[in-house]
Amino acid sequence: MKNNRRKSIALSADAIAGGTVAAVGVILLAMATQDGAAGQSALAAPPTPAQPTPAAGAPPVAPIPSSVAGGGTTLHSVSVTFPHSDSTFPGGAKADAINNDCLICHSAGMVLDQASLSRAAWQDEVDKMRNAFKAPFASADAPAIVDYLVNLKSVMAQSARRQPDARHGAVIVAQGTAAGAPPCAQCHAFNGVSDASGAFPRLAGQSAFYLASQLHDFASGVRASAIMSPVAKALSPDDVADVTAYFAGVDAPFLPLKTPDAALVKRGEELAKAGGPEKLHCDNCHGPGGSGEPPVIPYLAGQYARYMAFSLQMWRQGFRKNSPDAMGAIAKKLDDQDIAAVAAYYQQVNSPLKAAAK
Amino acid sequence: MQLIRTPSRRRFLQGAGILGGMAATLPAWADSFVDLDLPGGPNQRELTTDFPQKGSMILQRTRPPLLETPFEVFDRGIFTPNDQFFVRWHWAVIPEQVDVAAFKIAVRGHVNQPLSLSLADLLGMPRVEVAAICQCSGNSRGFFQPRVSGAQWENGAMGNARWTGVRLRDVLDRAGVKAGAVAVRSSGLDDPVVQAAPKVMKPLDVDHARDGEVIVAFQMNGEPLPLLNGFPVRLIVPGWYGDYWIKMLSNIEVLDAPDQNYFEAVGYRVPDTPHASVKPGETGFKTVPVSRMVPRSFFTNVTDTTTVNAGAAMPVRGIAFGGDAGVSQVELSTDGGRSWQKTALGPDQGTYGFRQWSTQITAPPSGTLTLQVRCANTKGEVQPAEPNWNGGGFMRNVIERVQLTVA
């Protein structure tokens, strides 16, 4: 479980590598910070919590903390951050369905701590999740999830997982692999910030599980991409684990992008926080202010608007087939304006320009 | 005192990772684990201090949070500290910020005048204070045999606090309950991730809601509630299980027809049988909502790993509660339940709170010593000798036992 949504580079890498970060890793990671030195001031600040934006011309909203008093008692406003769970269901491909479908709403811990239960008992649980609690997964996934849960104890016993090597990941990011994968840094930059064009997503600090599942889907073609499919196919499972561990551990600055259209941002914030008729609000799954709910749900805060809009269009038009029941269904309820608005909103959440304006 | 104690029944495994497939990825920030005593396991849990405003807690689930109170906390006094009070949320969308100036409680439905109460309104109303136990209806679920699904709690999904607030009756009177009202349904700021899923809400019969004991509390042990325990206000339903104690209470709805929401009509239901007990596999019984609590008592200074000196006199103590009535007596047996002796009760701090009990026993010359403790409430209800069973793992209150080793 991680306490902070974004950890410092050294701490994250240390956690990933189990305290065995060697000198070479430290040097590579130090390069990662220098890469984005222009944004260092923003790096020092924690991600900005989502706060209501006052309408133009309205008096400024009283900032938190505020307080209320009466009868000798004073109550102060509270702002906290909940920790995240990093745990996923072990077992590789056998766990794909349960990881992708179940971790949207709850972490794995309580499920892993269940006693051995009968197939009927697990079937009841999965039925309850789908029918009563409206878990957004296809009925076709249910048998795989039930099978996994029935065999949970043996899967856990067999799954002695290799420890990801973020140092090796950094080498792949910088140099590519002998098997033909190009250096990730060519498009995504060594620190995973990519570039201001927004053509490539920001990867820095994204959860390793999420990044690995996307590489898996690029390789299988569930997520089609002429660029990423051959790259993903050239990476071994260990390479994927190492590269994603590396990017997950990078705490890189956000680029000072300009957001030209305040009205569009405002509309996007409304959709993100409150949704609309028939439209799910994004923050429910993606965390407050789009800060992410790792391991399964990626952060959107500070992601490039161009990339987010492109991804939503791919889902909407059916070209991106991973997450058909969640993102596929949601994207089809959004029109072009909605997509432009939420993308514009999330891009500016972590902008250093915004922080400087405060 | 001749008591030799092992450090704890719970074995703290510094830096060790024994979570099966998780072992290889044991992160540096997981500093300790705890072993529970559940039949058949899994028993390892992380001890965490990572949750805001909370101290060391047993991590049952990160999201939505399920945090159990380490049991040794209950030996330190009958009021459970706020920072170690158990935490249980159903859905993951929980506000991380509460602006007290903007917070409102809606009072609506079958009333003369719908209200939007601010915290300033509440703080200006007449106050009451009550000591009361909040206990998850699934507390101790991990001990059910055969095992059932759900949060695998040991006995720490309970806590006792002094709650300060205003009577729900006074709130309802401000709005004016219309004739024909049957129930008062409450819900909070928390929401399901998937909007189509049922929001957590629980109803009370209108007479219960207006009995003057149910309160809207803004203080817990003299302090604001931790956010995870329901800041800024939660409903306190003394003597009833925690599913009625709605956290971040923001909505009070007076109904003119019985509530049919999921958590009343489908979830949180128990067999309408003595001790809510049925045989595993049994079907065809009537069910009713989980509601009032039943008596329980626990040992707090001895466990199954305690060793005592042969022939030594030793103090034994613990906590008890009567459920929806006060504690009448707490008795101890040293002979497998054939005979029972009364224990001394600590000060009565409120009908619905914990009561400490204590006594002294003499250890036998050798072997083991089995102790049992049982509570009777002022209604004459006594803990049963046989454990109850139901598919939800609810309302466990069997007589507790510990087996000490004589050295």
Q: Which residues contact B71 (CB under 8 A, 6 or more apart)?
A: B10, B154, B155, B156, B298, B300
Contact B100 A66 (CB under 8 A): yes
Token pair 């931790």: residue? B226
C-alpha dist (Å) from residue B378 to B79, B240, B276, B382: 21, 16, 20, 10
- Average pLDDT, rounded, for chain A: 82
- pLDDT confidence of residue A326: 87
Give the residue ranges of DSSP H helices in chain A. 9-16, 23-35, 40-44, 96-102, 109-112, 119-127, 142-150, 152-158, 166-175, 185-188, 208-220, 228-234, 237-249, 262-274, 283-286, 305-316, 329-331, 336-349, 352-357
Give contacts of A91 with chain B, Cβ < 8 Å: 21
Residue B25 contacts residue B198 (beta carbons within 8 Å): no
Measured CA to CA, the distance from residue B88 to residue B152 in angstroms comes to 12
Measured CA to CA, the distance from residue B228 to residue B222 in angstroms comes to 17
- Side by side, the strands of the sheet bearing B183-188 are B115-118, B104-109, B249-255, B183-188, B201-205
Q: What is the DSSP string of B9-54?
A: SSPP-TT----GGGGGG--TT---EEE---TT---EEEEE--STT-
Strand partners, B93: B191
Residue B378 contacts residue B326 (beta carbons within 8 Å): yes
CB of A228 within 8 Å of a chain B CB? The answer is no
The dihedrals phi and psi of B71, each to the nearest 5 degrees, come to -65, -25
Residue A86 contacts residue A294 (beta carbons within 8 Å): yes
- Residue B129 Cα, gap to closest chain A Cα (Å): 14
Contact A69 B123 (CB under 8 A): yes
- pLDDT confidence of residue A44: 33
DSSP 3-state of B243: helix
Residue A275 contacts residue A287 (beta carbons within 8 Å): no
Picking from A80, A124, A132, the nearest residue to B266 by CB comes out as A132
CB pairs under 8 A between A and B: 199
Kind and range of the H or E run holding B264: helix B262-265
Contact A112 B93 (CB under 8 A): no
User: With bands split at pLDDT 50, 70 and 90, how would you rate the model's confidence at A92?
Assistant: confident
Q: Cβ-count burial of B128 within 10 angstroms (0-12 exposed, 13-18 middle, 19+ buried)?
A: middle
C-alpha dist (Å) from residue A148 to A295, A325, B151: 19, 20, 19
Whether this prediction's pTM lies above 0.90 is answered by no
Residue A176 contacts residue A187 (beta carbons within 8 Å): no
Chosen for mutation from B19, B29, B218, B229 (greatest number of chain A CBs closer than 10 Å) is B29
Question: Each residue of B386-405: b (16+ CB within 10 Å) or e?
Answer: eebbbbbbbbbbbbbbbebe
Contact B41 A1 (CB under 8 A): no
Residue B247 contacts residue B234 (beta carbons within 8 Å): yes
- Residue B107 Cα, gap to closest chain A Cα (Å): 20
Which residue, among A208, A295, A1, has the nearest Cα to B62 in the 3D structure?
Answer: A1
The chain B residue lying nearest A70, using CA atoms, is: B123
The chain A residue lying nearest B66, using CA atoms, is: A110
Q: Cβ-count burial of A270 within 10 angstroms (0-12 exposed, 13-18 middle, 19+ buried)?
A: middle
Q: Which residues contact A100 (CB under 8 A, 6 or more apart)?
A: A137, A213, A296, A322, A323
Give contacts of B193 with chain A, Cβ < 8 Å: 104-105, 284-285
Q: Which residues contact B111 (CB under 8 A, 6 or more apart)?
A: B172, B175, B176, B177, B178, B181, B254
Contact B194 A136 (CB under 8 A): yes
Which tokens belong to B175?
A: 């709005």
Which tokens belong to A137?
A: 């997964």
Picking from B24, B51, B231, the nearest residue to A161 by CB comes out as B24
The chain A residue lying nearest B31, using CA atoms, is: A1
Measured CA to CA, the distance from residue B88 to residue B337 in angstroms comes to 35
Q: Which residues contact A238 (CB under 8 A, 6 or more apart)?
A: A162, A165, A168
Q: Which residues contact A48 (CB under 8 A, 6 or more apart)?
A: A289, A349, A350, A354, A355
C-alpha dist (Å) from residue B305 to B10, B96, B357, B404, B406: 9, 40, 21, 7, 11
Which residue, among B325, B351, B340, has the nearest Cα to B373 in the 3D structure?
Answer: B340
Lowest mean pLDDT among A110-114, A354-358, B110-114, B118-122: A354-358
End-to-end CA distance of chain A: 32
Contact A1 B100 (CB under 8 A): no
CB of A54 within 8 Å of a chain B CB? The answer is no
Measured CA to CA, the distance from residue B376 to residue B323 in angstroms comes to 10
What are A290-342's pLDDT values in tens digits?
999 999 999 999 999 999 999 999 999 988 988 888 899 999 999 999 999 99
Section A163-188 average pLDDT: 94
CB of A110 within 8 Å of a chain B CB? The answer is yes
- Which residues 292-311 of chain A have a CB within 8 Å of chain B? 293
Q: Cβ-count burial of B66 within 10 angstroms (0-12 exposed, 13-18 middle, 19+ buried)?
A: buried
- pLDDT confidence of residue B108: 98
Give contacts of A242 with chain B, Cβ < 8 Å: none
Q: What is the DSSP letter of A163?
A: P
What are A28-65's pLDDT values in tens digits?
333 333 333 333 333 333 333 333 333 344 444 445 56
CB of A58 within 8 Å of a chain B CB? The answer is no
Q: What is the DSSP letter of B111?
A: B
Token pair 């006693």: residue? A115
Q: In a structure prediction context, what are the per-residue pLDDT tens digits for chain B, which is 407 residues long?
A: 334 433 333 333 333 333 333 333 444 444 589 999 999 999 999 999 999 999 999 999 999 999 999 999 999 999 999 999 999 999 999 999 999 999 999 999 999 999 999 999 999 999 999 999 999 999 999 999 999 999 999 999 999 999 999 999 999 999 999 999 999 999 999 999 998 999 999 999 999 999 999 999 999 999 999 999 999 999 999 999 999 999 999 999 999 999 999 999 999 999 999 999 999 999 999 999 999 999 999 999 999 999 999 999 999 999 999 999 999 999 999 999 999 999 999 999 999 999 999 999 999 999 999 999 999 999 999 999 999 999 999 999 999 999 999 99
The dihedrals phi and psi of A336, each to the nearest 5 degrees, come to -60, -40
Contact A107 B63 (CB under 8 A): yes
Give the residue ranges of DSSP H helices in B186-249. 206-209
Diameter of chain B by CA atoms? Answer: 72
Q: What is the DSSP letter of A84?
A: B
Contact A125 B266 (CB under 8 A): no
Measured CA to CA, the distance from residue B358 to residue B78 in angstroms comes to 13
CB of A127 within 8 Å of a chain B CB? The answer is no
Contact B21 A159 (CB under 8 A): yes
Which residue, among B71, B50, B48, has the nearest Cα to B60 in the 3D structure?
Answer: B48
Chosen for mutation from B128, B163, B191, B193 (greatest number of chain A CBs closer than 10 Å) is B193
Give contacts of A81 with chain B, Cβ < 8 Å: 52, 96
- Residue A2 Cα, gap to closest chain B Cα (Å): 8
Q: Which residues contact A358 (CB under 8 A, 6 or more apart)?
A: none
Picking from A49, A107, A115, the nearest residue to B62 by CB comes out as A107
Measured CA to CA, the distance from residue B3 to residue B54 in angstroms comes to 32
CB of A250 within 8 Å of a chain B CB? The answer is no
Q: Who wins on pLDDT, A44 or A178?
A: A178
Which tokens belong to A133?
A: 């609690």
Q: What is the DSSP string of A267-318?
A: HHHHHHHH-BTTB--THHHH-GGG--BTTTBPP-TT--HHHHHHHHHHHHTT
| Residue count (chain A) | 358
Kind and range of the H or E run holding B318: strand B313-321
Measured CA to CA, the distance from residue A90 to residue A112 in angstroms comes to 10
Contact A77 B100 (CB under 8 A): yes
Residue B297 contacts residue B318 (beta carbons within 8 Å): yes
User: With bands split at pLDDT 50, 70 and 90, how would you rate the model's confidence at A257?
Assistant: confident
DSSP 3-state of A170: helix
Give contacts of B101 with chain A, Cβ < 8 Å: 62, 66-68, 77
The dihedrals phi and psi of B54, each to the nearest 5 degrees, come to -120, 145
- Residue A50 Cα, gap to closest chain B Cα (Å): 10
- Which residues 258-287 of chain A have a CB within 8 Å of chain B? 275, 280-281, 284-285
Section A351-355 average pLDDT: 73
- For A273, other C-beta atoms within 10 Å of its C-beta total 17
Picking from B24, B61, B123, the nearest residue to A162 by CB comes out as B24
Q: How many CA atoms lie within 13 A of B50 on its CB side?
A: 23
Which residue, among B234, B96, B48, B232, has the nearest Cα to B159 in the 3D structure?
Answer: B234
Give contacts of B123 with chain A, Cβ < 8 Å: 68-71, 73, 75
Give contacts of A87 with chain B, Cβ < 8 Å: 22, 62
